[in-house]
Structure 1
Amino acid sequence: MPEIPVGAQIFDVVFHPTFATVYTGLLTGHVKAFNYDEQGSHELAFSVRPQKSSCRGLSLDGDGSHLYAVGKGKALHTIDTTTEAIDTRPAAHESTINRVKHLMPWLLSTGDDDGTVKLWDPRQRDSVRTYTQHFDYISDFLWLDGKRQLVSTSGDGTLSVVDVRSKKPEPVAYSEDQEDELLSIVSIKGGSKFVVGTQLGILSIFNRTSGWGDCVDRVPGHPLSVDALCNLPADLSNVDTASTILTGSSDGYVRAVQILPTKLLGVVADHGEWPIERIAIGERQRRWWVGSVGHEDVLRMTDLEGFFRDNEGCEADKGALGVDVSGGDDSDIEDDVQDENCQEPLNAVTSEEAVDGTSEESNSGSGDEQRDSDDDSSDEEPQPTTRKRKAEKGLPLTAIKKKKGKNSVAAESSFFDEL
């Protein structure tokens, strides 16, 4: 697995839409770009430092000509990827900016640690709209292009939907409190369903036809928080890209998971004891690369098609690993499923037991430890922070069957553990 050393902890990673270039935002405030080839070899393209404090979020525009960077300095920076020129909007937010996302040619969004969401027109100096429906950090954005709607997930346990065409400063939809921090979101099934990663390791499924008020299914299994989610490219061969996603968890694994029906397809990357912060996918001459980052100073590059090719034979024998939510709320659950060739037998437990005891070891998606380690003025490389150990594997479990509630599914607690 190729690795790109960057010299400091990485907070975000994005790939150029047309060129074989990957961009990283670092704890030191640097933004470093690397060119890579089909073998995963790399070279530094440029390194700029728009701010001395940490760079927490990156986003590229549609053609990759401009890179937007945000972070602890509360400013919005626009970097010309060709000339390396930097345009800065100071004090864009009143608190640390956690996320940024390019939406349309003349519209992008930013979200800060206080839950404020702002829309920006790059041609103007001031924001065009401000939303304050959240009271905790903004963890992720999802853009629904056909609806011209922006979905925001937050550490306050809710998600909201705003229509960018509306002049009202209120969301058009707002979920109930999910009683867990919402850390990441992607769409599946052609945008009809949405998967939300949470602090307790549950994947919450929202259905557009059922509205945004509450999730319709919950898929347990990750032993720790699901901080990052990523869709697969649509033209990836021999894979159901409409329902397969990549998940990044605090236990250090990047997994390929199929949703509805739910299957674990395998571990794409292993970061050891380092939590996964971000996942992105880029292309080089029809070869897809997964870029994943943890709390270390290297960017890991994984051949995505090579992973599915190597796991194709194993997957044919494995089948569904104990969770099948294809029927929505009233789906049937297979309580006792054994994987004969790829994994040891799995024991069925309730969703509550699957997450029991994990919250104390979970790594918050808000980046609390990251904020504590930020340095606004020092140019020295930060020392690695001691991270929590992975959850112990192989603990004996007794199969327990329990009636499934409306918004939960029964699943094995060792759904992902053996990998």
Structure 2
Amino acid sequence: MGKDKEKERNAPKDIKFDCLVMDVDCHPDNEILTTADIDGNVKIFKYSTTGENEELNTLTHHKKSCRRSRFLPNGEKFVTCSKDKSMCVIDTSTYEVVHTYSKSHKSPIYSLCIIDDNIIASGDDDGTLKLWDLRKQKSVMEMKECEEFISDMVIDESKKILLATSGEGTLTTFDVKKHKMRLQSELFESEFLSITALEDKDKVVVGDGDGVLNIFNKGEWSNISDRFPGHPMSIDCLVTIHRNLIVTGCMDGKIRAVNILPNNIVEIVGKHNQFPIESLSLTHCQDLLVSCSHDQKIKFWNISHLYDLNTERPEEVKAHRKTKKQKFFDDL
């Protein structure tokens, strides 16, 4: 008789690398993820809870470290950006580079935000933010409102308002339809490093270099409405799980589930043995969280139990997101 089918695990096995992984992003519909590493490589993997993870391809089109690799919402392409100032669009099915923006910024690109299947935003080390139209294959907006690097960005559900955090300690809002800046916060003492929008509370949460979660109300960007200290080191990445529940990636190597308003740390989801967390991503089923760290590993964490705290399961969350159109940035 042949071997029995391998028993399903609650999460895939770790994926090990030979260098530092800078970013990880999961495909919106399939068990596929893409990674960006410090050697400039872009790798694509198929992950599994029943078998071994499979490396599908390795791309070496960047000359310096690849800082971001993100799928478009339809999953047909993904975009990579690099310290070499280039940005590339990759076909997911063929792994071919379909377009290259060789000198997309004057400074190395630091962050990337996918707005929709055609429009993306990029931010660089010197505080310049650009909007790109992939159909026209060119930049349609360029603004420099910050003096330090654009650390992270998030787009609203209407795809109209983009919020960007900067290492100088500001939160800046941009109108992606009218191609102009809306508002900018006052200058905070600590650098702003990460951002995520809550689903139901008309708020965004910003992680800073001192380990504080700074909470902003819709339209009140000049100052915070609340702050939640509690992390021992900088909060380098954030992802919203559901409603007021987020997950934080901290420089101390721990991944925490945090409830916002009331503010409390729910649990330690996982850790990378004191190595800083670089990036977090939810899988398409939303039951798994993927993390990468300075320990040169991709790790998977089963977070399905966290939805019990909010009564709705992941499939209900998807329905909730599709039906509730007017949320955080409405009437801004």
TM-score w.r.t. length of structure 1: 0.68
User: Equivalent residue for 2:37?
Assistant: 26
Q: How does 1:153-172 map to 2 (within 5 A)?
A: 153-168=165-180, 171-172=181-182
Deviation of 1:294 (Å) = 1.1
* Secondary structure, aligned partner of 2:280: strand
For the pair 1:199 / 2:206, whether they are aligned, the reply is no
* Secondary structure, aligned partner of 2:304: helix
Q: Could you give the per-residue CA deviations for residues 148-190 of structure 1, whole angstroms, max 9, x where no partner exists? A: 011000001101101011144xx11110011110000111142
CA contact (8 A) 1:58 1:99 kept: no
Whole-angstrom CA distance in 2 between matches of 1:248 and 1:167: 31
CA change 1:141–1:37 in 2 (3 A) is: same
Letter in 1 for 2:288: W
For the pair 1:71 / 2:82, whether they are aligned, the reply is yes
For the pair 1:144 / 2:156, whether they are aligned, the reply is yes
CA contact (8 A) 1:268 1:307 kept: no
Whole-angstrom CA distance in 1 between matches of 2:286 and 2:164: 31
Greater Rg by CA: 1
The runs of at least 4 consecutive aligned structure 1 residues that moved more than 4 Å come to 306-310
Q: Could you give the per-residue CA deviations for residues 370-410 of structure 1, whole angstroms, max 9, x where no partner exists? A: xxxxxxxxxxxxxxxxxxxxxxxxxxxxxxxxxxxxxxxxx
* Secondary structure, aligned partner of 1:23: strand
CA change 1:255–1:167 in 2 (3 A) is: closer
Letter in 2 for 1:268: V
CA change 1:253–1:308 in 2 (3 A) is: farther
CA change 1:201–1:180 in 2 (3 A) is: same
User: Equivalent residue for 2:329?
Assistant: none
Q: Could you give the per-residue CA deviations for residues 317-368 of structure 1, whole angstroms, max 9, x where no partner exists? A: xxxxxxxxxxxxxxxxxxxxxxxxxxxxxxxxxxxxxxxxxxxxxxxxxxxx
TM-score w.r.t. length of structure 2: 0.86
CA contact (8 A) 2:116 2:159 kept: no
Letter in 2 for 1:261: P
* Secondary structure, aligned partner of 1:176: coil
For the pair 1:183 / 2:184, whether they are aligned, the reply is no
Whole-angstrom CA distance in 2 between matches of 1:287 and 1:271: 21
User: Equivalent residue for 1:60?
Assistant: 71
CA change 1:309–1:205 in 2 (3 A) is: closer
Q: Could you give the per-residue CA deviations for residues 117-145 of structure 1, whole angstroms, max 9, x where no partner exists? A: 00001122331110100110010001013
Q: How does 1:122-141 map to 2 (within 5 A)?
A: 122-141=134-153
CA contact (8 A) 1:110 1:119 kept: yes
User: Equivalent residue for 1:266?
Assistant: 267
CA contact (8 A) 1:139 1:182 kept: yes
Unaligned residue ranges in structure 2 (runs of 5+) = 1-10, 312-332
CA contact (8 A) 1:21 1:35 kept: yes
Whole-angstrom CA distance in 2 between matches of 1:192 and 1:99: 24
Deviation of 1:39 (Å) = 4.0
Deviation of 1:289 (Å) = 1.4
Whole-angstrom CA distance in 1 between matches of 2:134 and 2:197: 26
Letter in 1 for 2:287: W
CA change 1:8–1:309 in 2 (3 A) is: farther
* Higher RCO (CA < 8 A, seq sep 6+): 1
Whole-angstrom CA distance in 1 between matches of 2:72 and 2:57: 18
* Secondary structure, aligned partner of 2:146: coil
User: Equivalent residue for 2:126?
Assistant: 114
CA contact (8 A) 2:287 2:302 kept: yes
CA contact (8 A) 1:287 1:303 kept: no
The range that moved more, 110-119 or 290-299, is: 290-299
Deviation of 1:147 (Å) = 6.1
The range that moved more, 5-14 or 69-78, is: 5-14
User: Equivalent residue for 1:391?
Assistant: none
In the comparison of the two structures, how many residue pairs are matched? 298
CA change 1:191–1:95 in 2 (3 A) is: farther
Deviation of 1:146 (Å) = 2.2
* Secondary structure, aligned partner of 2:30: coil
Deviation of 1:296 (Å) = 2.1
Letter in 2 for 1:175: S
Whole-angstrom CA distance in 1 between matches of 2:54 and 2:159: 40
Identity %: 33
User: Equivalent residue for 1:302?
Assistant: 301
Unaligned residue ranges in structure 1 (runs of 5+) = 233-240, 313-419
User: Equivalent residue for 1:256?
Assistant: 257
Question: Cα RMSD between the aligned structures?
Answer: 1.9
CA change 1:96–1:40 in 2 (3 A) is: farther
